[in-house]
Amino acid sequence: MRRSDKEINDPEVIQEIFQEADVCRIDLIDGNEPYVVPMNFGYKDNILYLHSASEGRKIEILKQNNNTCFQMDIKSELVASASPCNWGMKYLSLIGQGKAYVISNIPEKKDALDVIMGKYSPEASFEYSDDAINEVVVIKVNIDSVTGKKSGY
């Protein structure tokens, strides 16, 4: 990172960002073309879990190239100034890289769905019909690296 004063090294702050972020943007490479997708997600034990339809560009790309990177942020706030060149943003963010895999094992898929659903509704418990389990795709991203960055905090 070019600006070490903005790097987040505290593992607790990195965990906070994983827990508080609402959206994870994943980047895939389709041939020579980047493709970014905002997704709902869950995070547990250095793994991202992503919920997906069973068809579409993202799934087709992953069949060819499972390398991915991701980005998420929290506490974004515009910082205005009297001078246009001094405007900025406050934020805490993560950027990471990893390998993505489609989960086919049904018990593992249910556990991953519990992680995703638990992020957005932590007090609830969940039951999944066999039809729902068979229709949905859950993508597991084994995280290889993650870097945190802050601005204004």
All structural domains of the chain, each given as residue ranges with its CATH number in brackets, are: 4-150 (2.30.110.10)
**Which CA distances in Å does 49 have to 44, 98, 109, 137, 152?**
8, 12, 10, 10, 30
Q: Where are the beta strands (DSSP E) in the chain?
A: 7-8, 24-30, 33-39, 41-44, 47-52, 67-79, 88-102, 137-151
pLDDT of residue 1: 60
Mean per-residue pLDDT over the chain, rounded? 92
Judge whether residue 18 has pLDDT over 70.
Answer: yes
Question: 0.85 cut: is pTM over it?
Answer: yes
